[in-house]
């Protein structure tokens, strides 16, 4: 399986998560053929066809857009990795408040422009989910995923509820699980970095967060951070 | 229907010592203990506490008996292997509601080999507890499961295994039938009339509850008798595949979705009503048997304060708009 990891507007944190999987890197090197992966190797081959393109970051320049369209055309599977690629993520937080740099446009998620075959959410994404992707593709499929909210995993972890007991503005009830409630597990309210669950009950969560003492404007901002600014 | 008497005996200190040795021998011990954050969980114990003191843990025994992500088999190098043998555990000081929930799990998973293996490696000791303001014990509910029960110096055998342990500690012929202490009065699992429930599909009470429900699944995650699971394959880079049982939840959009994208229960209202039916009216061979044990966990875990018990009350009163 040939692999290209391509980064657009982002911090490189997502690829760092993969390179941090030290125990699995040797196995990974045997299973995949690295074609493009700047963080690992500067000896990139020609930009030919690849089986798997992993894309990190949002698209915010015409050059990135051209590169993405080209990548899609020469990839069998294209997988969006991390919050920026999925929703605009961190880059979109400015929300158009500042004037964009010359030659750029507001950060856009990948699926605004191309077909995305699979998504691995999170800021940063979970190492386990990156590895499951390779494991599943090796066997000819996509990883199993139970679509549910962080609250479910938070209860399985027997965490104290930050929203109810500490009145912290936790986004667990409307955020996609898969992180095993990493932040609430250490007492930090969920920021929603993995994006919104399907069928999210926005009205009720708005009411709950407002009940934590946040002004309406702040609640709206908090809820909208990793939602994709209406691009979904 | 009141519970029958169970074989019981007041143990002398040396007999208690023998019993504790038997309970601890080759086993990891767990009991409900408050954590630094104030939440009570089943945690490892260095030894069995001398005095019984039950408390309700955040998650019940299902976290040991049907753990999330439990491996069912693994495929490695062209060979299948069953799950590793389960750990031998003794869990002490569980409240009655959790013993009743154990009885329910024993019923539902009676023919489930991984459950049976874990159950047979588990000894459960109950103790009386004081119901909180938001939970109740139901003496008309399920007959408590588990092996032993203790209050003061008196012990009760709840299972043949428990009885054998008491006989070994105190000698044969000393046990006599004795009712369990309590449970504390103060509530009963709501009785739901099946006919009224069947006719309630269009009742606005479901929509009203669903208007608040986040479908986050917290209620069934903490419910000691909710046991829906999904089976997923976990393929690894090195070629091994592990088939796992992971906790599922009737509030999840995919729970009732089938091939072709059809959904038996679209929307939160239908899912809430389904959970209610499953809990209070039973399902399949257990239709007519409620699996609510009154522990109050669901109401406490709900971020928007939905109480199925209140819904049951409204249904019984003939709720209207």
- In this predicted model, what pLDDT tens digit does every residue of B185-208 receive, in sequence order? 666 777 889 999 999 988 888 988
User: Under a CB-based contact definition with an 8 Å cutoff, are residues A210 and A219 in contact?
Assistant: yes
CA distance A33 to A2: 5
Instruction: Return the axis-axis angle of helices A127-138 and A22-31, rounded to nearest 10°.
Output: 30
Q: Beta partners for A103?
A: none
For residue B274, the distance in angstroms to the closest alpha carbon of chain A comes to 18
Q: Do residues A37 and A96 both lie within one domain?
A: yes
CA distance B236 to A137: 9
Q: Which of B58, B215, B236 is the closest to A201 by Cβ?
A: B215
Q: Report the CATH number that the domain containing residue A119 is assigned in CATH.
A: 3.40.50.700
Q: Which of A144, A155, A160 is the closest to B218 by Cβ?
A: A155
CA distance B303 to A171: 11
Asked whether residue A48 is assigned to any structural domain, the reply reads yes
Q: What are the tens digits of pLDDT across the range A49-90?
A: 999 999 999 999 999 999 999 999 999 999 999 999 999 988
The arithmetic mean of pLDDT across residues B114-141, rounded, is 90
CA distance A98 to A53: 32
Domain boundary (A138, A172, A192) is at: A138
Q: Do residues A69 and A130 both lie within one domain?
A: yes
For residue B251, the distance in angstroms to the closest alpha carbon of chain A comes to 9
Domain boundary (A138, A164, A193) is at: A138
Domain count, chain A: 2
pLDDT score recorded for residue B100? 95
Say yes or no for a CB contact (<8 Å) between A173 and B303. yes
| pTM reported for the whole predicted model | 0.93
pLDDT score recorded for residue B186? 63
Query: A205 CB near a chain B CB, below 8 Å?
Result: yes
ipTM of the complex: 0.93
- Scanning B235-264 for CB atoms below 8 A from A yields 235-239, 241, 246-249, 252-254
Query: B59 CB near a chain A CB, below 8 Å?
Result: yes
**What are the chain B neighbours of A132 within 8 Å (beta carbons)?**
234-235
pLDDT at B139 over 90: no
Q: Do residues A74 and A20 both lie within one domain?
A: yes
Q: Do residues A46 and A91 both lie within one domain?
A: yes
Sign of CA dihedral B103, B108, B111, B112: negative
pLDDT score recorded for residue A84? 96
Residue B1 half-sphere exposure toward CB, CA atoms < 13 A: 6
Q: What are the tens digits of pLDDT across the range A177-186?
A: 999 999 999 9
The arithmetic mean of pLDDT across residues B266-293, rounded, is 91
pLDDT score recorded for residue A231? 41
Query: A28 CB near a chain B CB, below 8 Å?
Result: yes
- Counting residues of chain B whose pLDDT is more than 70, the rounded percentage is 97
Say yes or no for a CB contact (<8 Å) between A156 and B59. yes
Q: Do residues A98 and A201 both lie within one domain?
A: no
* Band of pLDDT at residue A232, cut at 50, 70 and 90: very low
Say yes or no for a CB contact (<8 Å) between B221 and A155. yes
Q: What are the tens digits of pLDDT across the range B166-191?
A: 999 998 888 999 999 876 666 677 78
* Band of pLDDT at residue B321, cut at 50, 70 and 90: very low
Q: Which of A24, A152, A174 is the closest to B218 by Cβ?
A: A152
Q: Do residues A31 and A98 both lie within one domain?
A: yes
Query: B40 CB near a chain A CB, below 8 Å?
Result: no
Asked whether residue A232 is assigned to any structural domain, the reply reads no
Q: Which residue has the tokens 């114990």?
A: B45
Query: A177 CB near a chain B CB, below 8 Å?
Result: no
pLDDT score recorded for residue A225? 87
Residues 6+ apart with CB under 8 A from B79: none
**What are the chain B neighbours of A198 within 8 Å (beta carbons)?**
253
- Counting residues of chain A whose pLDDT is more than 90, the rounded percentage is 81
Q: What are the tens digits of pLDDT across the range B50-98?
A: 998 899 999 999 999 999 999 999 999 889 999 999 999 999 999 999 9
Which residue segment(s) compose the domain that A96 sits in? 2-138
pLDDT at B1 over 70: no
What is the helix (H) or strand (E) element at residue A208, kind and residue range? helix A202-210
Asked whether residue A47 is assigned to any structural domain, the reply reads yes
Q: Do residues A159 and A67 both lie within one domain?
A: no
Residue B137 neighbours by CB distance under 10 Å: 24
Residue A169 neighbours by CB distance under 10 Å: 21
pLDDT score recorded for residue A145? 85
pLDDT score recorded for residue A97? 59
pLDDT at A166 over 60: yes
Asked whether residue A228 is assigned to any structural domain, the reply reads no
Chain A: residue nearest B220 by CA? A152
Order of strands across the sheet with B70-76? B79-81, B70-76, B241-247, B229-235
User: Under a CB-based contact definition with an 8 Å cutoff, are residues B239 and A28 in contact?
Assistant: no
The arithmetic mean of pLDDT across residues A115-144, rounded, is 95
Query: A149 CB near a chain B CB, below 8 Å?
Result: yes
Q: Do residues A7 and A114 both lie within one domain?
A: yes
The arithmetic mean of pLDDT across residues B133-140, rounded, is 82
pLDDT score recorded for residue B320? 46
Say yes or no for a CB contact (<8 Å) between B236 and A135. yes
CA distance A37 to B196: 63
What is the dihedral angle through the alpha carbons of B94, B98, B99, B100, rounded to the nearest 10 degrees?
A: 160
Q: Do residues A157 and A106 both lie within one domain?
A: no
For residue B92, the distance in angstroms to the closest alpha carbon of chain A comes to 19
Q: Beta partners for B122?
A: B89
Asked whether residue A80 is assigned to any structural domain, the reply reads yes
pLDDT score recorded for residue B214? 94
Q: Which residue has the tokens 């599943």?
A: A136
Burial of B21-48, coded b for 16+ CB within 10 Å and e otherwise, reads ebbbeebebbbbbeeeeeeebbeebeeb
Query: A172 CB near a chain B CB, below 8 Å?
Result: yes
Burial of A74-113, coded b for 16+ CB within 10 Å and e otherwise, reads ebebbbbbbbbbbbbbbbbeeeeeeeeeeeeebbbbbbbe
* Band of pLDDT at residue B37, cut at 50, 70 and 90: confident
Q: Do residues A21 and A132 both lie within one domain?
A: yes
**What are the chain B neighbours of A204 within 8 Å (beta carbons)?**
211-214, 304
pLDDT at A98 over 70: no
* Band of pLDDT at residue A102, cut at 50, 70 and 90: confident
Chain A: residue nearest B57 by CA? A158
pLDDT score recorded for residue B140? 77
CA distance B236 to B75: 10
pLDDT score recorded for residue A95? 59
pLDDT score recorded for residue B53? 87
The full DSSP string for A16-60 is: HHHHT-HHHHHHHHHH-EEEEETTTBS----S--EEEEEEESBB-
Q: Do residues A154 and A115 both lie within one domain?
A: no
Asked whether residue A178 is assigned to any structural domain, the reply reads yes
Query: B268 CB near a chain A CB, below 8 Å?
Result: yes
For residue B187, the distance in angstroms to the closest alpha carbon of chain A comes to 25
pLDDT score recorded for residue B131? 81
**What are the chain A neighbours of B39 within 8 Å (beta carbons)?**
158-160
Average pLDDT, chain A: 92
CA-closest candidate to residue A201, choices B310, B266, B214, B307: B214
CA-closest candidate to residue A34, choices B113, B185, B7, A25: A25
Asked whether residue A230 is assigned to any structural domain, the reply reads no
Q: Which of A131, A135, A148 is the closest to B217 by Cβ?
A: A148
Domain boundary (A87, A114, A138) is at: A138
Order of strands across the sheet with B28-34? B40-44, B28-34, B89-94, B122-126, B148-151, B154-157, B6-10, B176-178
pLDDT score recorded for residue A96? 58
Which of A117-121, A225-229, B123-127 has the lowest average pLDDT? A225-229
Asked whether residue A145 is assigned to any structural domain, the reply reads no
CA distance B78 to B87: 27
Q: Do residues A211 and A178 both lie within one domain?
A: yes
Residue B1 neighbours by CB distance under 10 Å: 7
Say yes or no for a CB contact (<8 Å) between A149 and B216. yes
pLDDT at A28 over 60: yes
Beta strands at B154-157 and B176-178: parallel, antiparallel or unpaired: unpaired
What is the helix (H) or strand (E) element at residue B230, kind and residue range? strand B229-235
pLDDT at A112 over 80: yes
């Amino acid at each position: 399986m040939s692999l290209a990891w391509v980064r657009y507007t982002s911090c490189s944190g997502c690829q760092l998560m993969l390179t941090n999987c030290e125990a699995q890197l040797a196995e990974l090197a045997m299973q995949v053929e690295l074609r493009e992966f700047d963080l690992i190797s500067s000896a990139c081959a020609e930009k030919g066809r690849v089986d798997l393109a992993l894309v990190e970051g949002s698209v915010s320049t015409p050059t990135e857009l051209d590169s993405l369209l080209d990548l899609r055309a020469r990839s069998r599977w294209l997988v969006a990795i991390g919050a920026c690629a999925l929703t605009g993520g961190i880059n979109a937080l400015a929300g158009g408040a500042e004037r964009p740099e010359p030659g750029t446009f507001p950060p856009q998620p990948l699926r605004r422009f191309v077909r995305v075959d699979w998504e691995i959410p999170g800021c940063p994404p979970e190492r386990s989910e990156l590895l499951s992707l390779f494991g599943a593709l090796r066997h000819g499929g996509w990883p199993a995923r139970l679509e549910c909210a962080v609250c479910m995993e938070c209860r399985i972890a027997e965490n104290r509820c930050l929203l109810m007991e500490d009145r912290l503005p936790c986004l667990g009830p409307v955020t996609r699980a898969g992180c095993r409630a990493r932040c609430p597990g250490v007492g930090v309210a969920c920021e929603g970095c993995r994006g919104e669950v399907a069928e999210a009950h926005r009205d009720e969560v708005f009411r709950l967060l407002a009940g934590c003492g946040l002004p309406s404007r702040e609640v709206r901002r908090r809820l909208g951070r990793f939602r994709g600014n209406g691009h979904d | 229907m009141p519970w029958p008497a169970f074989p019981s005996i007041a143990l002398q200190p040396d007999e208690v010592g023998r019993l504790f040795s038997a309970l601890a021998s080759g086993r990891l011990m767990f009991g409900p203990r408050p954590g630094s954050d104030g939440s009570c969980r089943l945690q490892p114990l260095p030894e069995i506490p001398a005095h019984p003191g039950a408390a309700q843990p955040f998650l019940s025994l299902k976290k040991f008996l049907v753990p999330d992500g439990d491996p069912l088999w693994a495929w490695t190098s062209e060979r299948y292997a069953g799950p590793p043998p389960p750990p031998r555990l003794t869990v002490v000081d569980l409240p009655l509601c959790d013993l009743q929930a154990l009885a329910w799990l024993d019923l539902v998973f009676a023919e489930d080999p991984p459950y049976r293996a874990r159950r047979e490696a588990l000894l459960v000791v109950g103790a009386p507890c004081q119901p909180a303001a938001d939970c109740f014990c139901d003496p008309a509910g399920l007959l408590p499961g588990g092996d032993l029960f203790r209050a003061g110096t008196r012990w009760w055998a709840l299972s043949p295994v428990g009885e054998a342990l008491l006989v070994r500690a105190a000698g044969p012929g000393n046990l006599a039938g004795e009712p369990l202490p309590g449970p504390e009065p103060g509530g009963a699992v709501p009785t739901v009339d099946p006919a009224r429930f069947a006719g309630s599909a269009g009742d606005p009470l479901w929509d009203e509850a669903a208007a608040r429900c986040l479908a986050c699944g917290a209620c069934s995650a903490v419910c000691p008798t909710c046991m829906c699971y999904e089976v997923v394959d976990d393929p690894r880079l090195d070629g091994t595949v592990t088939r796992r049982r992971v906790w599922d939840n009737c509030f999840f959009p995919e729970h009732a979705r089938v091939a072709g994208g059809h959904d038996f229960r679209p929307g939160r209202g239908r899912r809430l009503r389904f959970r209610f039916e499953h809990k209070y009216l039973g399902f399949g061979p257990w239709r007519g048997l409620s699996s609510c044990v009154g522990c109050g966990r669901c109401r406490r875990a709900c971020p928007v304060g939905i109480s199925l018990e209140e819904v049951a009350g409204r249904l019984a009163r003939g709720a209207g708009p």
